[in-house]
Amino acid sequence: MATKSSPQWNLLKAGDPVDIIAPASHTSQLALDSGMDWLRSLGLVPRFRDGIIKGDLFFAAELEFQQQDLLEALNSDSKAIWCVRGGYGSMRLIPLLNEIRRPDHPKLLLGFSDITALHLYLNQKWDWPSFHSRNISAMRAEDHLTPDRQATQRLLFGIDHEITFQDLIPLNEFAAEEKEIQGRMVGGNLRILQSSLGTSWELQAKDKILFIEDIGERGYSVHRMLEQLKQAKIIHRDLKALAIGQFTEGEEKNGKDLIPEALKRIADELPYPVFTGLPCGHGTENYPLPLNTECKLKLGQSITLTCQSGGI
């Protein structure tokens, strides 16, 4: 169960509506329909506006449509908002969020990749919890029984009130020490975290466990982004820990993957625990990771991370 110090959201039950928004890039009608079928297979009622993925340059729809879509979802009677896909575009909606009053009742936002911009804003500015999880376009009815999708379902309906990741791997000496740390999780896609610098939704990682993942970034690029976050005094010190998820499709032209070495070099320079192995991100599996809820981290040669869902 969530502790009193954790932000909370209301658990879902059969028959509940779920608002579907597309704040970033376009997807296919087939992918959208498959996601809707998956939600219906859980007994939920997907709700979205006509024209949600009609396309506009890099985006799923014109900015005005996406803004109105988000406003209606935030102020509707649903308990959850699920994003269609990532790509690019979510950060364009932040100025709108800066102008409006925070709704009285928190809703659970689900999605990942470019959706990191919205996670950061809702976690940091509104103190809402959210799930770094598969976007709805990747939730196909035929994949209903995969373990990561099952985990998402169990958290949404309160069958489980926490999720535990075991056999995680220490990347520096601080993570290999036998000790326990508690704190809230923040973060998401590394490129978007970097893009937050200098904005109203800039990453605030002090006294938090920071999670990172990415796709399509080569080793030098991953190192450069982390080096910038370090020089910007975002991750230089004062974090509880750095949690590393999946970094995929970042091979060099010769096929070699230099990302593990880039991450290890950064880990050795940081004065707090850094660990890897979280099955969250752009890999085959993408387990739900609660953000802005209480987490317990047991360090040592085999690391365990347990995060509360925040659902009540």
Task: Please give the positions annotated as active site.
Answer: 113, 213, 282
User: In sequence order, which residues have a C-beta less than 8 Å from that of residue 260 and are 6 or more positions away?
Assistant: none
Residue identified by tokens 């990191």 is 116
How far apart CA 277 and CA 281 sit, in angstroms, is: 11
Query: In angstroms, what CA-CA distances link 120 with 35, 39, 173, 266?
Result: 24, 25, 29, 23
Q: Which of 145, 135, 143, 150 is nearest to 28 (CA)?
A: 135
For residue 186, the cross-strand partners are 210
Residue type, 2: A
How far apart CA 239 and CA 5 sit, in angstroms, is: 19
Neighbouring CB atoms inside 10 A of 128's CB total: 23
Q: Which of 17, 28, 286 is nearest to 137 (CA)?
A: 28
Q: Which of 188, 236, 190, 207 is nearest to 294 (CA)?
A: 207
Q: What angle do CA 253, 256, 260 make, to 5 degrees?
A: 125
Neighbouring CB atoms inside 10 A of 4's CB total: 6
